[in-house]
């Protein structure tokens, strides 16, 4: 079992399989992706070594993310490999949803349990303004398809100052009939996006108060749950989650580790550096990877330092997948 010096156990791995993305979200890659080419990222064999080591140390849930994970040509192979790794009980992914309509059934057949789709607005014009892609309708068709094939569906929506008016109303109307969990995420500052952050960040706490006043009730967290505090309401088919990284004690329930597409372990989304495991992975050294992971976990800090504006090595979240 992976446990750090603060008694936190890590059952959940977020694995970035590429840094590349074809969306231009204002808060992430507003000028598009211009990083390393796809052949620089971990191969299927390296991913296999990594997953085997993590699973041996008690990891039961893996989220595939990026960049946009579905840009990898071997994405279905990665899904199959993840689902077939002994010990991994739950396979999730985060996507912009552009390919969901076409592939939801194939991804489900490959072993996917849960998909998180990023939809920052249900207003097509706002969606296009935020993401640089006029694809809301296609993404929503993909989301319906994901529900049809039996995937557990969550939606990520960032809280942004410019886009708050009427957004909640639209989302609530939609949640009445749509059985998804909609997670509102407080914008986090990253190295490349400080200006955007200063203009757009808003605390999620007023939204929490509003939801409680409307009769939304908190749910108990599962052991391998993500960072969201979730709420349900008897009149709604969907649920709401709040991810408030600036709130007190956010890091106390941290149960996840991250690996970048180039094989670096990040003990926190905002750690000062990634710890390079590439050689161990290239040489398919499972035992060495296990030893490395056990050894470095003591370096994990108690909290991130975002409150002080310290964003560590993270320039934007396409590097690590959020
Ligand atoms: N391409 C995929 C997608 O669009 O969901 C996966 C990668 S994306 C970086 C993962 C999640 O990170 C998205 O839901 C996005 O909204 C969130 N994200 C990106 N930048 C963020 C920031 N600065 N603060 C909070 N969340 C952010």
Ligand 1 atom 13: the closest Cα is on which residue?
118
pLDDT of the residue at 271? 84
Best residue for ligand 1 mutational test, from 20, 98, 118 (most atoms within 8 Å of Cβ): 118
Ligand 1 neighbourhood includes 18 CB (under 6 angstroms) = no
Contact 273, 27 (CB under 8 A): no
Share of the chain above pLDDT 70, in %: 99
Site to substitute for ligand 1 among 94, 146, 184, most atoms within 8 A of C-beta: 94
Model pLDDT, residue 307:
79
Helix (H, G, I), strand (E, B) or coil at 291: helix
Q: What is the atom index within ligand 1 of the atom nearest the CA of 193?
A: 23
CATH class of 2-319: alpha beta
Contact 50, 263 (CB under 8 A): yes
Strand ranges for 70-173 from DSSP E: 90-95, 114-118, 152-159
Task: Return d(Cα 109, Cα 224) in angstroms, integer.
Answer: 23
Over residues 33-56, the pLDDT tens digits come to 999 998 999 999 999 999 999 999
Ligand 1 and 94: CB distance under 6 A: yes
pLDDT tens-digit profile of 17-31? 999 999 999 999 999
* Helix boundaries (H) for 178-216: 194-200, 205-213
Atom 1 of ligand 1, residue of closest alpha carbon: 68
What are the DSSP E strand ranges found in the chain? Answer: 12-18, 61-66, 90-95, 114-118, 152-159, 181-186, 217-218, 229-232, 239-243, 256-259, 264-266, 275-276
Distance, CA of 156 to CA of 161 (rounded, Å): 16
Average pLDDT over residues 273-286: 96
Going by alpha carbons, the residue nearest to atom 19 of ligand 1 is 317
User: pLDDT tens digits, residue range 102-135?
Assistant: 999 999 999 999 999 999 999 999 999 999 999 9
Mean pLDDT of 87-107: 98
Question: 234: CA distance to ligand 1 center in Å?
Answer: 29
Residue 32 has a pLDDT of: 95
Mean pLDDT (the chain, rounded): 94
CA of 285 to the centre of ligand 1 (A): 31
Q: What pLDDT is attached to residue 113?
A: 98
């Amino acid at each position: 079992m992976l446990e750090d010096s603060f008694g936190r156990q890590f059952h959940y791995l977020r694995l970035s399989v590429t840094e590349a993305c074809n969306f231009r979200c204002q808060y992430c890659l507003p000028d598009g992706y211009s990083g390393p080419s796809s052949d620089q990222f971990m191969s299927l064999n390296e991913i296999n070594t990594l997953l085997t080591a993590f699973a041996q140390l008690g990891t039961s849930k893996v989220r595939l993310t990026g960049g946009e994970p579905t840009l990898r040509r071997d994405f279905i192979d990665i899904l199959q490999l993840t689902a077939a790794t002994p010990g991994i009980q739950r396979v999730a992914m985060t996507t912009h949803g552009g390919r969901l309509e076409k592939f939801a059934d194939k991804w489900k057949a490959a072993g996917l349990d849960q998909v998180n789709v990023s939809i920052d607005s249900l207003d097509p014009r706002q969606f296009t303004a935020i993401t640089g892609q006029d694809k809301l309708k296609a993404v929503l068709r993909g989301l319906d398809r994901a529900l049809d094939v039996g995937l557990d569906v969550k939606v990520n929506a960032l809280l942004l100052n410019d886009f708050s008016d009427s957004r909640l109303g639209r989302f609530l109307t939609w949640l009445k009939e749509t059985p998804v969990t909609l997670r509102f995420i407080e914008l986090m500052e990253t190295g490349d996006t400080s200006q955007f952050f200063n203009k757009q960040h808003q605390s999620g706490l007023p939204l929490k108060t509003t939801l409680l006043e409307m009769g939304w009730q908190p749910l108990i967290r599962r052991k391998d749950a993500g960072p969201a505090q979730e709420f349900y309401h008897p009149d709604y088919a969907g649920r709401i989650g709040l991810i408030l990284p600036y709130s007190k004690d956010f890091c106390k329930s941290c149960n996840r580790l991250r690996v970048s597409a180039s094989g670096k372990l990040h003990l926190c989304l905002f750690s000062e550096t990634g710890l390079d495991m590439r050689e161990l992975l290239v040489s398919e050294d499972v035992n060495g990877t296990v030893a490395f992971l056990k050894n470095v976990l003591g370096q994990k800090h108690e909290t991130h330092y975002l409150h002080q504006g310290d964003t560590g090595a993270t320039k934007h979240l396409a590097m690590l997948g959020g």
